[in-house]
Structure 1
Amino acid sequence: MGKKEILVVDDQPGIRMLLTEIFTSQGYRVTTAETGQEALDSLYAGSFDLLMLHYKLPVVDGVQVLEQLEKDQFTIPAIVMSGLSEDIMKESQQFEIVKEVLAKPFNVEEVCEFTRSILE
């Protein structure tokens, strides 16, 4: 079985770099995107096992990405990240693919735990 693929979507380069480092060290393959539109392009072009999605993105935001994926019946599990986790928790519960909501700044151990539990 090949390595699990994770798509990390965040408009902050530091977060993308941190998550790439964490996931690569855990043995996952990582692709990154800066905007919601880039995320959608990647998702339609490739196949991923997990989506790490920042809620507030430029161009196409996280909610629009989730809406589009549900509309097209994607079943990729998603972890949503946000600085405003309370509001997001309520909003994101309407999406079946959202498995977890992480508040920023997040705990690296927690991220690894959630990722492992979703991918294994």
Structure 2
Amino acid sequence: MKKILIVDDQKGIRILLDEIFTSEGVKTYLASNGKEALKILEETKMDGVLLDMKLPGMDGKEVLKKMKALYSDMPVFMMTAYDEGEMRVQENSCHADYYFPKPFNVHELKNTVLELLEKRL
């Protein structure tokens, strides 16, 4: 069973994504901030991470760097409310595998994440 970590400070988004991926047979872990996310990753290796860019405490960029230090080959999908120009700057400075602008298309996000996880079997 595939395992993904969902990191977002908005409870509604965590619950929505949890329901979507659980219904697809994916085991989900939830974190509301970077510190929680890193603790979970230290205990359990994930097949992928959905990570919000704006988080309390550590921002998503800092969390991403620490995640990649733990598991350099783990795919990370960034979710961001930045506008398109800011997002391109972030893409160049971060090394996430995919970016989803908020508000995101739920079906596109689900299909993209599942597709990439399947390719990594």
Same fold (TM over 0.5): yes
Q: Name the structure 1 match of 2:36.
A: 38
Determine the C-alpha separation between the residues in 1 that align with 2:93 and 2:115: 21
Whether the aligned pair in 2 keeps the contact of 1:52 and 1:81 (CA below 8 Å) is: yes
Q: How many residues are paired up?
A: 117
* Percent identity of paired positions between Structure 1 and Structure 2: 38
Change (3 A) 1:81 1:33: same
Deviations 1:50-98 (A, max 9, x none): 10000000011101111223344532100000111521333233444x1
Greater Cα shift, 76-85 or 86-95: 86-95
1:67-82 equivalences in 2 (<5 Å)? 67-72=65-70, 74-82=72-80
Is 2:12 the partner of 1:14? Answer: yes
Give 5+ residue unaligned stretches, structure 1.
Answer: none
Deviations 1:23-53 (A, max 9, x none): 0011100000000111111111111001000
Determine the C-alpha separation between the residues in 2 that align with 1:20 and 1:114: 16
Whether the aligned pair in 2 keeps the contact of 1:85 and 1:101 (CA below 8 Å) is: no
RMSD: 1.5
Give 5+ residue unaligned stretches, structure 2.
Answer: none
Is 2:56 the partner of 1:58? Answer: yes
